[in-house]
């Protein structure tokens, strides 16, 4: 799947490339906005999706999805499903898909590789729930790598669910949310109940976890609402 956002002569964002294949479809839903639509139930174990997003200088692109992605295991031994997002951002990218629900026995690997140019802006959110209501948790591994002007500013891999190395009692949450924000002054550290916001050059990364998704979302909001700037320590 590929979307290219470009600023036209009148300063509006146009999308000269909107291409999809496999189990993902893309719908234009506004100026510089697209929604991802799953064409089938899933993703299923073994599915491999690659999303390429290019936001040229002066352009804005918002990427949403129409519904939560429910990751299901394939029959038999389930290989992981993968989703790789590669973003090249000289303009403004908002990547705010609906939650990913990883059902029992499913294994999902999500990767975001974002390369930002000078002045590039990024807001990327991730919301994960392990297992549907009353169901055993699946396994999710998410890697985020953000490079700004050639310098890595964030590179983390978080593993959730049985079999991931650090998902251990007493802190083994079912719900996890994170937001990376680049394009504003370096934020101060904020801590809360099972939530933390950390400064990045030109922004911040916030993370929260809980038993339920709505709790995790509220906890993250609690530490990322204030836009206080970092004081020198």
Partner 1 sequence: MTAALLTLADSRLPAGGHTHSGGVEQAIAAELLTDPASLALFLRRRLTTSGAVAAGLAAAACRAVDDTDVVAALAALDAEADARTPAPALRAASRQQGRGLVRVGGRAWPHPAWAALPVQPHHPLALGVAAAAGGLAPRDAAAAAAYLSVSGPATAAQRLLAMDPITVAAVTARLGPEVDAVAAAAVDGLPAAADPLLDLLAEVHTVRTDRFFAS
Chain contacts with partner 1 (rule: CB under 8 A): 143, 145-146, 151-159, 165-166, 168-171, 178, 189, 191, 194-196, 198-200, 205, 207, 209, 233
| Least distance CB 164 / partner 1 (angstroms) | 9
| Least distance CB 34 / partner 1 (angstroms) | 29
Nearer to partner 1, 101 or 205 (CB): 205
- List % helix, strand, coil for the chain (3-state, nearest 5): 5, 55, 40
Nearer to partner 1, 34 or 146 (CB): 146
Nearer to partner 1, 140 or 209 (CB): 209
Nearer to partner 1, 9 or 171 (CB): 171
| CA proximity to 228, closest of 175, 179, 189 | 189
Question: CA 79: distance to chain centroid?
Answer: 22
| Least distance CB 156 / partner 1 (angstroms) | 4
| Least distance CB 66 / partner 1 (angstroms) | 29
By three-state DSSP, how is residue 82 classified? strand
Beta bridge partners of 128: 100, 176
Q: Between vectors from CA 5 to CA 154 and to CA 225, what angle results, nearest 5°? A: 45
Nearer to partner 1, 38 or 200 (CB): 200
Q: Which residues of 34-48 are buried (b: 16+ CB within 10 A; e: fewer)?
A: bbbebeeebbbbebe
| Least distance CB 123 / partner 1 (angstroms) | 17
Nearer to partner 1, 4 or 177 (CB): 177
Cβ atoms within 10 Å of 69's Cβ, excluding its own: 24
End-to-end Cα separation, the chain, in angstroms: 44
**Helix runs in the chain, H state only:** 213-224
| Least distance CB 198 / partner 1 (angstroms) | 4
């Amino acid at each position: 799947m590929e979307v290219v956002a470009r600023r036209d002569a009148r300063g509006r964002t146009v999308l000269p490339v909107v291409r999809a294949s496999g189990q993902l479809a893309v719908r234009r839903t506004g100026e510089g906005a697209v929604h991802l639509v799953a064409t089938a139930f899933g993703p299923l174990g073994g599915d491999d999706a690659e999303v390429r997003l290019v936001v040229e200088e002066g352009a804005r692109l918002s990427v949403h999805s129409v519904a939560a992605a429910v990751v299901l295991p394939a029959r038999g031994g389930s290989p992981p499903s993968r989703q790789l997002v590669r973003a090249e951002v000289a303009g403004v990218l908002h990547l705010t898909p609906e939650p990913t629900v990883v059902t029992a026995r499913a294994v999902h690997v999500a990767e975001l590789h974002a390369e930002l140019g000078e002045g590039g802006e990024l807001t990327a959110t991730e919301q994960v729930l392990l297992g549907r209501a009353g169901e055993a948790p699946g396994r999710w591994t998410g890697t985020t790598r953000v490079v700004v002007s050639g310098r890595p500013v964030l590179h983390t891999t978080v593993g959730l669910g049985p079999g991931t190395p650090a998902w251990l009692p007493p802190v083994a949450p079912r719900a996890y949310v994170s937001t990376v924000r680049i394009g504003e002054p370096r934020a101060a550290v904020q801590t809360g109940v099972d939530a933390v916001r950390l400064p990045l050059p030109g922004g911040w990364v916030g993370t929260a976890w809980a038993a339920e998704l709505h709790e995790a979302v509220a906890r993250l909001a609690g530490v990322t609402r204030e836009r206080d700037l970092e004081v020198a320590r």
